[in-house]
Structure 1
């Protein structure tokens, strides 16, 4: 949980807050700089399977620290960069490094300590750390940036790249402290009794007996509704990327640095509630209704951004709109965090669950990679209001396609059963 709150929070969650200051400082356009998120996400996805294999071969503490060092170096590179390719390279290193200690590292260590009961709960608690970290990291980051800025939030630029070096030091020191305590069980340590493991095995077998057996990946690929689902998730991902990655760059033109930090803090609280409640919504309501709820929350969050775009700088209504955006968007984050894993199994069964998870996740990842730079291009050609309206259309159309296809696939599933 501490890993997610600080090292991961620094490596990923605060990155959007640097967009506006860096775009002003080096005279980049928003679309070109936003590609740092695209390159970072793609690089982490490609590296993730290899890192998973290395964790099985080498000492976990060593791999954890390798990731911390890579992310630390990336922030140092951010601090000495002045050209776009240099920022792209730093972003790639940063996300690859975070995969060692977060994306692959956290599930790896949790799975070793909880081979039977408690795994889901432990993972949930650990990953909530990212949301908890946001509550204080977001306002801290904005205050730190403001202290090294010249001018206002709209046109101000960084007088020093010191914030990157400060965060590099924080990431390394906190990572070094955590690595002193975090570890996998030793050979002579009993983390679950034989009876508990047997019970867990029986429960898993009983649950599997009641589950939909599923289709093979080849069978799924031949389904027209699978492609509608994938296209829908891709289009929705375009809109969601903007909400998550570009909110700070936009709000910096409407609110003070400290207020944008407060919005980030509220977003962290919303994410905490959204992550915890997401599993309950999927279990109680099913995929179609849970994703409909998420679509409604995202629609409201974009409407708040559109409303804010019409407000003058520093207005009370603009601040209220930003805060409501953070609440609505945070409550729906389960749709892309736990959503792909749940939907892959719920819709297509357990026969080739791993393959289907990859295909479902790929649809969203492609959309997410397109979203941030596309938003920047549209904003550059028009303005923020029109850019948000296009993202609203992406969310409405994407989720509509996704939800309709989910209903159709569930009907096909019932016919098979």
Structure 2
């Protein structure tokens, strides 16, 4: 692999970025965006209400959230490559088996297993790899670009899966998605390495930070237990949870919302929105290397919603690395994932339940919007606390203090 890396006209780290983008595209399309296609289709197939189907997917989200801290801690200790190789088997097999479900309980079990496999792919493993292959401002850029794949899944695969479901059924759609996840994870398992030193390379740094390349890599940062004891962690996690409740719940329920309003092009509208966000993520991801006022940017992004959709997935890794460092990124990110993703469970199930009760999505969508405003305020408070001397002193004892806000 080292010989191949040295023949490339660019640093091998950027090839890993491309692999991560494609993996996030296919996995995000298969295990996030397609749920909006599955909800009405499975509801009609099984003859049950929306709440039952949404609950099955949200239990999967709960499993995904609970598995995060354990997967993250394992990655911190052993690297991401082992987990990525394991993902070749778990998520694809679970999707294929779930595609044969004929009752809600089978969907519950199958999607829960698939959600465990999802933690082996996104977002922690590839984000963790970015923190090792890139330094300084290039790290921010790489983390931003990797999230482009998530939006691409909605922009490119959602309409394809919707057409496939209409021409066949949801069973075939899920089967195809499982095969697609298998294919990209095999490629990822072959190409990704934990550290550039594994193939005789140095991390990627910008020209004006080249001095960092001459120094030993210092993976500084607070541990997960240390982070959990800070107010910054809970303010950040709760604020992002409220933001993602709105983003995630509306996305999951969007096609059913359009159907309830007799809008036949719901999937097309959702995919166009995802395409706009994806196109916006590319220049935003590149520009992240120049951003210093991360917390102020996060507040603007959350309040904007539309722009926030383009930038939203970038917030978590950017805020975590700025506030808690990278040494224990996996465990800290997994702990935050448990909070942010766990909250989405109740938001989406609550929205589906209110629809079954009222026959309208107006009230839940208004609640989601109000939560976004509260979330922005909490992230602003997080930024204030993170820049206080007490928090900075903790970073100093862990190896580094970053005074940019």
Number of aligned residue pairs: 367
Q: How far apart in 1 are the matches of 2:241 and 2:392?
A: 27
Name the structure 2 match of 1:192. 202
Alignment of 1:324-335 (within 5 A): 328=306, 331-335=308-312
Name the structure 2 match of 1:375. 351
Tell me the SS of whatever aligns to 2:99.
Answer: helix
Structure 1 residues 197-229: Cα deviation after superposition (integer angstroms, max 9, x where no partner)? 973365987x98xxxx99997798585x87666
**Is the contact between residue 8 and residue 98 of structure 1 (CA under 8 Å) also seen in structure 2?**
no
The answer to whether the aligner puts 1:4 opposite 2:24 as a matched pair is yes
356-365 vs 7-16, which moves further? 356-365
RMSD of equivalent CA atoms? 4.6
275-284 vs 90-99, which moves further? 275-284
Q: How far apart in 2 are the matches of 1:348 and 1:125?
A: 21
Q: How far apart in 1 are the matches of 2:41 and 2:239?
A: 34
The answer to whether the aligner puts 1:167 opposite 2:174 as a matched pair is no
Alpha-carbon shift at residue 43 of structure 1 (Å): 2.1
Q: How far apart in 2 are the matches of 1:408 and 1:58?
A: 32
Alignment of 1:194-273 (within 5 A): 199-200=212-213, 202=215, 221=229, 231-254=238-261, 259-273=266-280
356-365 vs 36-45, which moves further? 356-365
Alpha-carbon shift at residue 376 of structure 1 (Å): 0.9
Name the structure 2 match of 1:92. 112
Alpha-carbon shift at residue 81 of structure 1 (Å): 1.4
Name the structure 2 match of 1:396. 373
Alignment of 1:277-288 (within 5 A): 277=284, 280=287, 284=291, 286-288=293-295
**Is the contact between residue 216 and residue 352 of structure 1 (CA under 8 Å) also seen in structure 2?**
yes
Alpha-carbon shift at residue 44 of structure 1 (Å): 2.6
Alpha-carbon shift at residue 270 of structure 1 (Å): 0.6
Alignment of 1:12-411 (within 5 A): 12-51=32-71, 53=74, 60=81, 64-107=84-127, 110=130, 118-148=138-168, 161-176=171-186, 178-179=187-188, 181-184=190-193, 189-192=199-202, 199-200=212-213, 202=215, 221=229, 231-254=238-261, 259-274=266-281, 277=284, 280=287, 284=291, 286-298=293-305, 328=306, 331-335=308-312, 337-344=313-320, 360-382=336-358, 383-403=360-380, 405-406=381-382, 409=385
**Is the contact between residue 141 and residue 261 of structure 1 (CA under 8 Å) also seen in structure 2?**
no
Alpha-carbon shift at residue 82 of structure 1 (Å): 2.9
Structure 1 residues 103-135: Cα deviation after superposition (integer angstroms, max 9, x where no partner)? 344245556655799554444434322323432
Q: How far apart in 1 are the matches of 2:133 and 2:327?
A: 27
C-alpha spacing 1:25/1:363, structure 2 compared with 1 (3 Å): same
**Is the contact between residue 233 and residue 367 of structure 1 (CA under 8 Å) also seen in structure 2?**
no
Structure 1 residues 131-158: Cα deviation after superposition (integer angstroms, max 9, x where no partner)? 234322111111112213xxxxxxxxx5
Q: How far apart in 2 are the matches of 1:391 and 1:295?
A: 12
**Is the contact between residue 139 and residue 264 of structure 1 (CA under 8 Å) also seen in structure 2?**
yes
Alpha-carbon shift at residue 347 of structure 1 (Å): 5.7
Q: TM-score, normalised by structure 1?
A: 0.69
96-105 vs 352-361, which moves further? 352-361
Structure 1 residues 162-220: Cα deviation after superposition (integer angstroms, max 9, x where no partner)? 222232333334444x2585243898842129999973365987x98xxxx99997798
**Is the contact between residue 3 and residue 129 of structure 1 (CA under 8 Å) also seen in structure 2?**
yes
C-alpha spacing 1:274/1:23, structure 2 compared with 1 (3 Å): same
Q: How far apart in 1 are the matches of 2:36 and 2:214?
A: 43
Q: How far apart in 2 are the matches of 1:393 and 1:203?
A: 47
Name the structure 2 match of 1:306. none
Any gaps of 5 or more consecutive residues in structure 2? Answer: 1-20, 394-405
> Which structure exhibits the higher relative contact order, with contacts defined as CA atoms closer than 8 Å and separated by 6 or more residues?
2
Alpha-carbon shift at residue 374 of structure 1 (Å): 1.1
Q: How far apart in 2 are the matches of 1:346 and 1:16?
A: 33
C-alpha spacing 1:122/1:8, structure 2 compared with 1 (3 Å): same
Structure 1 residues 26-82: Cα deviation after superposition (integer angstroms, max 9, x where no partner)? 23322332223432233234334554537976994x754531332222222322213
**Is the contact between residue 299 and residue 376 of structure 2 (CA under 8 Å) also seen in structure 1?**
yes
374-383 vs 115-124, which moves further? 115-124
Alpha-carbon shift at residue 372 of structure 1 (Å): 0.7
Q: TM-score, normalised by structure 2?
A: 0.71
Any gaps of 5 or more consecutive residues in structure 1? Answer: 149-157, 299-327
Q: How far apart in 2 are the matches of 1:123 and 1:415?
A: 24
**Is the contact between residue 76 and residue 330 of structure 2 (CA under 8 Å) also seen in structure 1?**
no
